[in-house]
């Protein structure tokens, strides 16, 4: 007795030579991949967090939800944006730079001291940028040539820079040079009663250049490669050693520029300026989605991280009854949350 099998409803099975057509992922699958990616997930969370916090501030406080309050986040934190850009380069390679706050301070002290002695801004500003870049170069060489851990090398540079501040002066030095004063008080109108300062323009130019360097140059691709796997970068023939040194030069340059912008903001130099600012810069970069182990991160994410810190400080200012130390408490909590988020996303991606 023989039996026959009915053909499947969908038609005959494809033969061995039929092409394989993979299932097209749905929109929800793509969205889930983006949100759970260690590359883009934390950045999107940071952007959503900024919007939520800003809206909450606007609903709670009269006058908060305005264009000028938003622009003031850039005005008040332009130096920190530049500092975070330099820190992003370093952390993307898996390094760290603890000297940036002290370099900001010594930059303000050098500027104030030389301007008070009659130097012109056209000589003072390039000199500061060269000196801080050379300091970054020395730190990078110490890390590469002598295999010193970045934590120790930059800690030594931090003590050196902070000590130089007190060598220059133990007291605050005011800046009355006309060009610096003009840059401090100038407002660039944007229409509708809105305005920004020249420092914001400088910070945005630095951000644009950094985005281009990291996204569209061989140097930027090497930075990401070192953070992903330094040994693999060496095997691929990438200039790993040179790049590791240059990122600290970039950080030193950005620290010097941040110091100049800070001197525009305060019109003074003081040895205790920017104490703990290196931790604010690291927090902004991590909250902005850059992995502390390197390899993942965006400059624009770091800018978002700075804006999150800025909007928290602004809310505390509007509240009026809270100590400014609550800013540090909120930053610490956010930092812990984002480090855990990064750990979860990277471990899930490895599965």
pLDDT in tens, 112-168: 999 999 999 999 999 999 999 999 999 999 999 999 999 999 999 999 999 999 999
| Pairing label, strands 188-191, 194-196 | antiparallel
**Mean pLDDT over the full length of the chain:** 89
Comparison of pLDDT for 336 and 4, the residue scoring more: 336
CA distance 46 to 43: 5
Residue 320 falls in which region: left (phi positive, over 0), alpha (psi -120 to 50) or beta: left
Burial class (CB within 10 angstroms; exposed 0-12, middle 13-18, buried 19+) of 340: exposed
Question: Would you say residue 31 has pLDDT above 80?
Answer: no
Q: What is the mean pLDDT of residues 277-281?
A: 95
Asked if 312 contacts 333 with a C-beta cutoff of 8 angstroms, the reply is: no
Model confidence pTM above 0.85? yes
DSSP H/E element including 209: helix 198-216
Give pLDDT, residue 35: 61
Radius of gyration of the chain (CA): 25
Give pLDDT, residue 6: 47
CA distance 311 to 38: 25
pLDDT in tens, 155-185: 999 999 999 999 999 999 999 999 999 999 9
Give pLDDT, residue 1: 44
Give pLDDT, residue 5: 47
pLDDT category, 29, cuts 50, 70, 90?
low
CA distance 220 to 135: 22
Most confident of the ranges 24-33, 198-207, 234-243:
198-207
pLDDT category, 33, cuts 50, 70, 90?
low
Comparison of pLDDT for 73 and 348, the residue scoring more: 73
Question: Would you say residue 7 has pLDDT above 50?
Answer: no
Q: What is the DSSP string of 9-67?
A: TT-SPPPTTSPP-PPPPPHHHHHHHHHT-TTTHHHHHHHHHHHHHHHHHHHHSTTTSSH
Comparison of pLDDT for 249 and 333, the residue scoring more: 249
Question: Would you say residue 269 has pLDDT above 70?
Answer: yes
* 207-211, 235-239, 344-348: least confident range: 344-348
Give pLDDT, residue 25: 72
* Residue 314 CA to its chain's centroid (Å): 19
Asked if 68 contacts 187 with a C-beta cutoff of 8 angstroms, the reply is: no
CA distance 36 to 39: 9
CA distance 309 to 334: 10
Give pLDDT, residue 116: 95
């Amino acid at each position: 007795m023989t039996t026959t099998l009915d053909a499947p409803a969908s038609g005959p099975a494809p033969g061995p030579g039929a092409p394989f057509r993979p299932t097209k992922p749905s929109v929800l699958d793509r969205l889930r991949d983006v949100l759970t990616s260690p590359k883009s997930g934390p950045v999107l969370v940071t952007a959503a967090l900024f919007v939520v916090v800003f809206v909450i501030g606007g609903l709670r406080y009269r006058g908060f939800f305005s264009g000028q309050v938003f622009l003031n986040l850039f005005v008040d934190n332009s130096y920190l944006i530049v500092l975070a850009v330099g820190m992003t380069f370093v952390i993307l390679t898996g390094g760290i730079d603890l000297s940036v706050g002290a370099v900001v301070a010594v930059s303000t002290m050098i500027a104030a001291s030389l301007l008070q002695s009659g130097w012109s801004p056209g000589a003072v500003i390039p000199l500061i940028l060269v000196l801080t870049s050379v300091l970054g170069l020395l730190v990078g060489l110490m890390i590469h040539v002598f295999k010193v851990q970045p934590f120790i090398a930059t800690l030594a540079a931090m003590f050196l820079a902070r000590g130089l501040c007190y060598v220059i002066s133990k007291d605050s030095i005011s800046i009355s040079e006309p060009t610096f004063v003009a840059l401090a008080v100038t407002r660039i109108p944007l229409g509708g009663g809105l305005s920004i300062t020249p420092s914001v323009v400088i910070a945005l130019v630095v951000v644009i250049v950094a985005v281009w360097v990291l996204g569209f140059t061989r140097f930027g691709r090497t930075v990401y490669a070192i953070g992903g796997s330094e040994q693999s970068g060496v095997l691929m023939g990438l200039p790993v050693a040179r790049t590791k040194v240059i990122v600290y030069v970039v950080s030193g340059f950005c620290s010097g520029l941040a110091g100049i912008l800070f001197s525009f903001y305060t019109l003074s130099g003081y040895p205790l300026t920017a104490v703990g600012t290196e931790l604010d810069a690291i927090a902004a970069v991590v909250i902005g989605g850059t992995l502390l182990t390197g390899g993942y991160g965006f400059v624009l994410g770091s800018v978002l991280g700075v804006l999150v810190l800025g909007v928290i400080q602004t809310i505390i200012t509007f509240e009026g009854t809270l100590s400014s130390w609550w800013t540090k408490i909120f930053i610490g909590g956010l930092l812990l949350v984002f480090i855990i988020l990064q750990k979860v996303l990277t471990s899930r991606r490895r599965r």
